[in-house]
Amino acid sequence: MANKDDVDGGDIVVEVLSPVAADDYVAQALEAVGLDEVIRSLRKIHTAQEIKKSLSKLQHKEPVNELLHVRRVALDFYAKEHSLTTSSLMVEIEGLRGRTDAHGAEREKLRKAKEVVSKDLNLRIGAKTLADQWIAGSKGKDPRTYIKSVKLLRV
């Protein structure tokens, strides 16, 4: 299905593709009505026990958050550019939070992030680009306080 829009005398053709996989349908439903309404719809079709049983089959660990890994690797580039230790900078940003070995925990997070990012060219490019943006923005500022968080901001 193609939609035509007239912009400044020229035609722009936008092709809207039909959903292909279950994820596509779920994404459309979430975008259209939100998570609460999707859950209510599931509840109309399935019992709470069926939904709970299905959820228990999923892995209990959160899925890999590629954007967070990109931000951690970008912080590594940023820290090296400013001659800082990445784990120390990460601990300064995230805080100790009662951890006995905060530096070791942050080094492990960075190791895992590098492992994920190294496998994907687009993620590596994203990390380098983000680091370059942070480096350019921090000129003349304290590099230790320029970055407020590695975690993604909720919009």
- What tokens were used for 92? 């300064």
Q: What is the pLDDT of residues 94-133, one digit of tens each?
A: 888 888 899 999 999 999 999 999 999 999 999 999 999 9
How many angstroms separate the CA atoms of 109 and 64, rounded? 12
Spatial CA neighbour of 143 closest among 73, 72, 75, 69: 75
In angstroms, what CA-CA distances link 94 with 4, 32, 99, 128, 137? 49, 35, 11, 21, 20
- pLDDT value at residue 155: 43
Q: Which residues face 2 on adjacent strands?
A: 15
Per domain, the residue ranges of the chain are 2-57, 66-146
Q: What is the pTM of this model?
A: 0.60
Spatial CA neighbour of 65 closest among 113, 131, 125: 113
